[in-house]
A and B are shown apart, each in its own frame.
Chain A
Amino acid sequence: MNTMKWLLRREFWEHKGGFVWAPLIAAALMVVLVGGLVGYGIASGKMHGDSISVQVDGKEVHHTSIAKVITLEKRADMASIAANNYIATGAPIFFVLPIVGLFYCLGALYDDRRDRSILFWKSLPISDTDTVLSKLLTVLVVAPLITIGVATAAALAILFFAGIATSSHGVNLFGAVLTNVNFYLAPLYLVGMLPVYILWALPTAGWLLLVSSWAKSKVFLWAIGVPLFAAVLLKWLDYLLGMTSGTTINADWIINNVLESILLGLIPGTWFSHAGSALPQPTSSGVPLLPMLTYSWSTLAKPALWAGVVAGVAMIAAAIRLRRWRDEG
């Protein structure tokens, strides 16, 4: 257990740049942009121009009278929308995660073979299983948790600026938002989706780590090129068969179910993409988080998920086995 703690710390030392600084920089950019807009708007009086008006209940209302039109009930609604959805403003940060995760996985069991520092790690009493598992934990648990933390912080900052913007029109929502329980639950809902993310991401992480452990060079090409080429080949074969005998090998099904799950699994929320009508519909107060969480967990009933998990575990076992015997010359 102690060894695992140090292995995780080791990964953190090496990949601070990708896992901490990349989302932080993305977050900082977003916050500065929103903060700048609000600040500029207030300072330059752009928000108080004569031509500005907003729609309230389908009626055109001049901005100076917004505060009068918006009733207490309306304010509670607005606060509820803010408390329920502010976390969504951190969404762009979640797109950093799969990119960083992809390159992390590809390098994880390859970089130290290339620069031969693997011989140093192998001179210490660390099993190959622990090494590979530490990399898996880093990409599937540590990195998403850091991302959730940074995204939440960014969303809070943006919510704060939005609050200032409405306050400048005499509509103070801070109290109402802070007393809304969903404001506090939102980050927890995200953490609650993490186990679902881990299971859906397992085949991708397994595939990437396997290639990283196996390839002698050109890891990216093998990991991405092979599945893409396989997709093209399947489509072509399907086309030929359809032309000649009218049969099909169901290329689209294979591409959707197999190739997608080994390439796109690291993207948060892939499990929503095939939801169809089961997906919680947005209401007037935005997309409700609790039904999203419940839906996420309900995907655990899908056999496709568990097939992916089994494949992922098998590929990780293969990666460990390869790590044991790869000779670095």
Chain B
Amino acid sequence: MSAVISARGLTKRYGKQVAVDGIDFDIPAGRIVGLIGPNGSGKTTTLKAALGLVPFDGQLTVMGLDPRTQRDALMQDVCFIADVAILPRWLRVMDAIDFVAGVHPRFDRARAEKYIANTRLTPTMKVKEMSKGMIVQLHLALVMAIDAKLLVLDEPTLGLDIIYRKQFYQNLLEDYFDENKTIIITTHQVEEVEHILTDLLFIRDGKIVLAASMDEVGERYVEVMVAADKVTAANALQPLDQRTVFGKSVMLFDSARAGGVSRAQLSALGETRNPSVADLFVATMKGTYA
């Protein structure tokens, strides 16, 4: 299976500012990829380039098409929610459904209506009468009913309460996702998506700092609850990060690093476990705002 998105030397400059700095990556089909990075790291710019919303330098193909010149063809199979869901204020729920049903050949009206039935939205309601959360609900209902091969979600759940966020990710995994679809998610609420992701892309200052599947991440990174008497020995092994929980040192190790130590060796220092993506992220991005 060829890559859904393939980037080689993808670069985007805004004036003198380099937003994306010559990155390479491949995203195969049938994956749910978390594109994770701090504010201003180039996440949104990368996605905009892939969606044909901004011009860029370097090579980038999305489902075999160049988003710069073949955007109209591309949009038949791609759907996205950009940043914060913003719908036009005058739009009514029923008109929105009619419109998308009218212009999108892959839209499933019954499915959209099913999602909307689970909310407090009514058919005659206008966007300007909705709370922020309701607007997002409408937008998500529309997009989830589109059978797109590539779905890009840029902060899809901003403004939603925890109940709806959990529900949304569950729907995404159970109803929407299948092996022919690819989903790219960016979010700051990493802990809420990590259980549905299959791959991770960490981006920092316009560069990819980590690209791995969740399985690889599980193999490679080890978190150790270091016993008090072994702290000095553990420190000598150069942990990526170290924090203290209830008086105990918790250290994060990269076993793939040159000169890194194996999981078996680490388990001699104390109890080992897989780190959470959030902890891994914080450790990787150390010094970003320094």
Contacts and interface: CB of A to CB of B under 8 A. Distances in A.
B75 interface: yes
A141 interface: no
A1 B51 CA distance: 24
A122 interface: yes
A297 B2 CA distance: 59
Given A123-B82, A125-B76, A117 B87 contact: yes
B136 to A, nearest CB: 12
Contacts of B87: 117, 120
Contact of B102 (A2, A112, A122, A127): A2
Interface in A108-159: 112, 115-117, 119-120, 122-127
Interface stretch (A7-15, A57-65, A247-255, A280-288): A7-15
Counting chain A residues whose Cβ lies within 8 A of the other chain, the interface size class is 20 to 34
A119 B83 contact: yes
Contacts of A117: 86-89
A47 to B, nearest CB: 47
Interface string A1-27: 011011101100110000000000000
B60 interface: no
Contacts of B53: 119, 122, 327
Contacts of B104: 124-125
B82 A125 contact: no
Interface size range of chain B in the complex: 20 to 34
B274 to A, nearest CB: 35
B139 A6 contact: no
A126 B100 CA distance: 10
B88 A123 contact: no
A325 interface: yes
Interface string B74-116: 0110011111011111111001001110111100000000000
Contacts of A112: 88
Contacts of B103: 2-3, 6-7, 124-126
Contact of B54 (A13, A115, A127, A325): A325
Interface string A317-329: 0000000110100
A116 B72 contact: no
B143 interface: yes
B263 interface: no
Contacts, number: 69
A13 to B, nearest CB: 6
A15 to B, nearest CB: 9
B108 to A, nearest CB: 15
Secondary structure type dominating chain A contacts? helix
Contacts of A327: 48, 53-54
B86 A116 contact: yes
B55 interface: yes
Contact of A14 (B82, B88, B102): B88
A119 B82 contact: yes
Nearest to B139: A120
B90 A14 contact: yes
Contacts of B51: 122
A12 to B, nearest CB: 10
Given A14-B90, A117-B87, A327-B54, A125 B102 contact: no
Contact of A120 (B75, B86, B98, B105): B86
Contact of B100 (A14, A119, A124, A324): A124
Contacts of B83: 116, 119
A38 B111 CA distance: 58
A3 B80 contact: no
Contact of B99 (A10, A125, A324, A325): A10
Contacts of A13: 90-92, 95
A123 B55 contact: no
B102 A123 contact: no
Contacts of A2: 102-103
Contacts of B82: 116, 119, 123
Nearest to B79: A123
A120 B86 CA distance: 7
Given A6-B102, A120-B85, 14 more contacts: A2-B102, A2-B103, A5-B102, A6-B99, A9-B102, A13-B92, A14-B90, A115-B86, A116-B83, A117-B88, A125-B72, A125-B104, A127-B72, A325-B55
Among all A-B residue pairs, the 10 with the closest Cβ atoms: A6-B102, A119-B82, A125-B75, A117-B88, A127-B72, A116-B86, A123-B80, A3-B103, A125-B76, A327-B54
8 contacts: A3-B102, A3-B103, A5-B102, A9-B98, A9-B102, A13-B90, A123-B81, A127-B72
